[in-house]
Copies of this chain bind each other. A is one copy, B any other.
C-alpha cells in the first residue's frame, strides 16, 4: 500500500487534525468529525451544510469557507457520516434562517440527511431544505436522472448556493439556486487506476495494466466500458459527446467547465484535455466562462479525470463569479 499514513484507523481523524491546524482561519472542528467555518456566524444568513465520505478532498470538507459552505459532516473513507453528525452540523451552523443540506446523491447520505432533518425539526425547530446533486450522466439514463450519482459537478452547486446565502437570500431562494445549478451541470469521468482504501489496504476494483475504464465512478463503481487506453483527444471527445447528447449545447450558450483530476493524473494532462475541450466548444460557438482545471473532487490517488459542464445564465454567472475563500478555491 503506497500511502503515507500511520494507523489506517486514524486516517480520517489525523487528516482533519492537519487540515484544521494548517488553516485555522478557515476551518474549525466543532465536534467529532464535524467541521464548520472559523469565526462568528452571521445572524440571519441561511446555513449550508454538506456531508459524505472522506477520500475526496477538497470535496467535501474543503469547501467550507466564505461564499461556500458553512459546515460538513465527515464519514470514513467512502462511507456516509451518521445522521447524528449531520444533525450536529445543522445545529452548529443554523443562524436563525434555516439550513440547506446540499450533498451528493448516494443512498446512505440521502437517508442520513433525511433523518438528520427530522431530528433538528423535532428537537430544535430548525427549518431545513435538502438537495442531492446527481450530475454523473453514465450512472443512470436521462429518464431516470434522479437516480444518478453526484460527482465533481457538485462544487458548482456549493459555489452558487454559497454565494446566494452570502447575499442573504432566504432558504427557499438558496435552495432554488442550488437546484438550478445542480440541474444545469452534467459530468462524466474515466479512470486508469483505482485507489486504495486505507482500512482495506488494497483497491476495491482492478484495471489491467494496459486498460482503462470509461465512466467509472469515484468509488470504483463500474463504468460503460473497459478497454485499451485511448488518446487524450479521443477520451475528451467521448466524454464531451456523451454530455452533449444528454444536455445539448448550441451556439451562443455560455458554460463553465471543470476538467478535474481524480488524484494522480497531473495538471499537464488536464491541460491536454482542456485544449481539446476548448476547441470543441469553440467549434460549437459556445463561450467558456471561468474554466476550472485542477483537483477539485478526487478519489485519493486514483488516476483519471472527469469533465463537468455547467450551463450558465446571467443569474448563475453572477453567483459563480462572486468572491469565495476556502483553502482550495479562492475567487
Contacts and interface: CB of A to CB of B under 8 A. Distances in A.
Interface of A: 1-6, 11, 14-19, 21-22, 54-55, 57-58, 62, 192-193, 209, 212, 229, 231-233, 235, 263-275, 278, 291, 293-295, 298, 300-301, 303, 305, 327-328, 330
Contact of A22 (B1, B15, B231, B278): B278
Given A2-B192, A229-B2, A275-B18, A58 B267 contact: yes
B4 A271 contact: no
Given A15-B271, A330-B330, 10 more contacts: A3-B269, A4-B272, A6-B233, A14-B232, A18-B272, A22-B291, A263-B264, A267-B295, A294-B328, A301-B303
Given A4-B305, A6-B233, A232-B4, A15 B268 contact: yes
Contacts of A300: 266, 268
Contact of A11 (B19, B268, B278, B294): B268
A272 B11 contact: yes
Query: Copies of this chain, how many?
Result: 2
Given A264-B264, A264-B301, A5 B269 contact: yes
A264 B4 CA distance: 11
A274 B264 CA distance: 20
A54 B269 CA distance: 12
The 5 A-B residue pairs whose C-beta atoms are closest, nearest first, are A18-B271, A264-B264, A18-B275, A4-B269, A57-B267
Nearest to A267: B57
A47 to B, nearest CB: 25
Identify the interface centre among A14, A193, A328, A330: most chain B CB within 10 Å of its CB.
A14
A58 B274 CA distance: 16
Interface-centre pick from A5, A264, A274, A295 (highest chain B CB count, 10 A)? A264
A71 to B, nearest CB: 18
A323 to B, nearest CB: 12
Most chain B beta-carbon neighbours within 10 Å: one of A17, A62, A305: A17
A18 B330 contact: no
B57 A301 contact: no
Contact of A278 (B3, B18, B274, B291): B18
A270 B11 CA distance: 11
Contacts of A263: 264, 266
A16 B291 CA distance: 16
A192 B301 CA distance: 12
B266 A5 contact: no
A266 B302 CA distance: 9
Nearest to A234: B6
A234 to B, nearest CB: 9
A219 B17 CA distance: 32
24 contacts: A2-B193, A2-B229, A3-B265, A4-B270, A6-B232, A14-B271, A15-B275, A16-B271, A17-B275, A18-B270, A18-B272, A18-B275, A21-B274, A21-B275, A21-B278, A22-B291, A55-B266, A55-B268, A62-B267, A263-B264, A263-B266, A264-B303, A265-B301, A294-B328
